[in-house]
Structures are given as structure tokens and as C-alpha cells.
Amino acid sequence: MSDIKVGITDRDGNHHLVDAPTDMNMNLMELVRTYELAPEGTIGVCGGMAMCASCQCYIESNHNLGNRSEEEEAMLAEAFNVEDNSRLGCQIYITSQLNGLEIKLAPED
Ligand code: FES
């Protein structure tokens, strides 16, 4: 059993507690898409290359995700609605350390 639980608040404010696999090299953007928690075309637009910010989310729990990469930092510098706890979901891979993570999807630009 290698699933963890991740809480995701969608753009309508609805909370979803979902199972997330740790053994599929999956990132948070792909997780949101898997559960169809954001309409097609509004998340993961660049395919996870840190080039669109459509996967921006706010980290609402105290998990240590490590620092933003240079590419992530650069993209967020150009994005809208960026907060201190903003991250690009496509740059965060699901690992067992993230069990209980809570994220909220940023509004569409
Ligand atoms: S999917 Fe484009 S930046 Fe994450």
C-alpha cells in the first residue's frame, strides 16, 4: 500500500480528500487532473514544464516541500495571485512524506 492522503480545495472552494500514489512518479498537477478537480484546459497547460503557472496552488499544511527551483521561482514571479505559500503543482512530486498535505488551487489567471 503506497498511497497517501492529500486534501485538495478546488477553485469553487470544495474540499476533496484523495488517495495519491507514491510509486508512480506523479506530481500534484497530475493528481488534480486524475481526479478531474479542475476543468480540462485550466490546469497543466504546459504539460508540467514550469512554464504556465496554471497548476499554481497554495500549500496550506506545514509540510516541508523544499525550496522552489529556479524555474519555478521564475514562473511564479510572472504569475498572478502569488502568495508566500504558492507552488507550482507540477514541480512537486508525491512522496510518502507528503501524507496529509493540504493544498488549495489558485484561481485561474
Ligand atoms: S503545468 Fe505549467 S507550470 Fe505547472
Domain 3-105, CATH among 1.10.1370.20, 3.10.20.30, 3.40.50.1970, 3.40.50.1820: 3.10.20.30
Interval between CA 72 and ligand 1 midpoint (Å): 9
Would you tell me how many other CB atoms lie within 10 Å of the CB of residue 71?
13
Interval between CA 49 and ligand 1 midpoint (Å): 6
Per-residue model confidence as pLDDT tens for the chain (109 residues): 589 999 999 999 999 999 999 999 999 999 999 999 999 999 999 999 999 999 999 999 999 999 999 999 999 999 999 999 999 999 999 999 999 999 999 999 7
- Cell representation of residue 109: 489567471
Structural domain spans, the chain: 3-105
pTM: 0.96
**Ligand 1 binding residues, C-beta < 6 A:** 29, 44-46, 48-55, 75, 88, 90
